[in-house]
Amino acid sequence: MDRPEIILAPGPTPIPPEVLLAQGSPLVYHRGPGFGNLMRDVTDRLKELYRTDTADVLLMTSSGSGGLESTVQNLFSPGDEVLVPLAGFFSERFKKLAEAFGLTVRTIEYEWGTKVRPDDVAAALAEHPVKAVLLTQSETSTGVIQPIQELARAAREAGALVVVDVVSSLGAVPFEFDEWGIDVAVGGSQKALSASPGIAFVAIGDRAWAASDTATNPRFYFDWRIYKTFADLPNPENPWTPAISVMQGLQAALRLYFQDGVDVALARHRMLSTAVKEGAKALGLDLFGEGLEDNWTVTAIRAPEAADADTISDTIRAVWGCVLAPGQGPLKGKVFRIGHFGYFSELDIIRGLAALEMTLEKLGHPVKRGAAVAAAETVFMGSR
Ligand SMILES: Cc1ncc(COP(=O)(O)O)c(C=O)c1O
């Protein structure tokens, strides 16, 4: 019998029925008061999520990468220098994106799975100032949450703009646009908010707007100025035909998210991540990455001797219909990743851990049946 797969990967995340219904309802025409109200509501809630009273939040029809590309186009001119601390797949991709638009990229290189050190950033900037530091809050390839507040402080003190990829972290872990002095932060609809893929949101502060006035990189579809002109209309609009259905779903997703509020959502992410980690440990598995306490979005787990990590993620999907994420880059075959941000409940995690237990047993790893489930239940009962 066909059933939907059980997604326990770090995005796209499972979509709640309310969101599916909203995006399946009749289209709101994209010019006029109906869409204007929709866009205003989505934008206001996103500002609350970013924790900003000062920034503009622009909505673009694209995945998160489009929002990141818009940043490189709008802030910089060819030859501008930026610093990108490299600690995983997505920070490396940010570097490639910057290079594709003619920026000169300086790097600090870390082993994958480590945290970027604010002192290293301060020292690199003291030795060689740059226009901006490009950061990734949740390094989805390793599960590590980077210390953005401290990194932003180091960058600001050196006079650099602070650009943060929050695609896989906004709504899942603490983030404070205004308080931390962030200049640009880019998120996506399909991660912690559990809407469909298709909308990127870009928060832009005053210093970033000033930089964009003098930037000469080519820009058209993602030109922030034209988005702002349309967003400031009495009935806000997108310059181009937007992903209207996704926007309708995103509104429903944000309503659900704010029913409980940000703090409850963050506490849930923390609890679910603890349950996954305790469950994995109870199966004799080793966790990967630094700062596990802070890593509430995705958990990278080292493969045991019995099977490589790709075999585990392939088998659990083939046998149980459960989608985990494989390792990327140098971690391919070595770790598999469980995503636990978005619209997940305790029982979704239990279901995934049960499938993991049976998969590992099948692959010859010694498992005490029910051990991971019991460990997760202990976490959940302790928080009720
Ligand atoms: C940290 C991070 N940045 C950027 C991206 C790219 O986002 P998208 O696939 O929405 O373009 C992802 C996707 O997983 C991500 O996790």
pLDDT confidence of residue 1: 77
| Ligand 1, atom nearest to 10 Cα | 14
The Cα-based distances of 319 to 14, 223, 283, 307, 334 in angstroms read 19, 46, 19, 16, 21
Q: Tell which atom from ligand 1 comes closest to the C-alpha of 197.
A: 10
Predicted pLDDT at 106: 98
Check pLDDT > 90 for residue 293: yes
Probe target for ligand 1 pocket from 71, 112, 116, 167, with the most ligand atoms within 8 Å of CB: 167
Tell me, using a 6 A CB cutoff, whether residue 327 lines ligand 1: no
Question: Are 169 and 175 in contact, with CB atoms under 8 Å apart?
Answer: yes
Instruction: Grade residue 297 by pLDDT with cuts at 50, 70 and 90.
Output: very high
Given a cut of 90, whether residue 384 has pLDDT beyond it is no
Q: Is the CB of 189 under 6 A from ligand 1?
A: no
Mean of all residue pLDDT scores within the chain? 98
Cα 95 to chain centroid, rounded: 17
Distance 366 CA to ligand 1 centre (A): 35
* Nearest Cα residue to atom 7 of ligand 1: 64
Tokens 């900037």 belong to which residue?
125
364: which 2 tokens? 């010859």
Burial status of residue 367 (CB atoms within 10 A of its CB: 0-12, 13-18, 19 or more) = buried
Among 65, 295, 328, name the best residue to mutate to test ligand 1's pocket (greatest count of ligand atoms within 8 A of Cβ).
65
Which atom of ligand 1 is found nearest the CA of 190?
10
Does the pTM surpass 0.85? The reply is yes
- For residue 168, the CA-to-ligand 1 centroid distance in Å is 7
Contacts 24+ apart (CB under 8 A), 379-382: 379/271, 379/274, 379/275, 379/278, 380/271, 380/275, 380/346
pLDDT of residue 8: 97
Ligand 1 site, residue 90, Cβ cutoff 6 A: yes
Beta carbon of 167 within 6 Å of any ligand 1 atom? yes
Distance 17 CA to ligand 1 centre (A): 24
Is the pLDDT assigned to residue 74 strictly greater than 80?
yes
Rounded mean pLDDT, 321-343:
97
With a 6 Å cutoff on the Cβ, whether 169 touches ligand 1 is no
Is the model's pLDDT at 107 over the cut of 90?
A: yes
Q: Give the ligand 1 atom nearest the CA of 138.
A: 1
Say yes or no: CB of residue 140 within 6 Å of ligand 1.
Answer: yes
pLDDT digits over 369-382, tens only? 999 999 999 999 99
Distance 162 CA to ligand 1 centre (A): 18
Query: Cα-flanking dihedrals φ and ψ of residue 326, to 5°?
Result: -80, 175
Q: Is the CB of 136 under 6 A from ligand 1?
A: yes
Task: Report residue 2's pLDDT band, with 50, 70 and 90 as the boundaries.
Answer: confident
Q: What is the pLDDT of residues 121-169, one digit of tens each?
A: 999 999 999 999 999 999 999 999 999 999 999 999 999 999 999 999 9
Question: pLDDT digits over 80-93, tens only?
Answer: 999 999 999 999 99
Ligand 1 binding pocket includes 187 (Cβ within 6 Å): no
Segment 29-54 shows an average pLDDT of: 98
Rg (the chain; Cα; Å): 21
For residue range 227-267, what is the model confidence (pLDDT) as tens digits? 999 999 999 999 999 999 999 999 999 999 999 999 999 99
Residue with tokens 């949450």: 145
Q: Is the CB of 92 under 6 A from ligand 1?
A: no
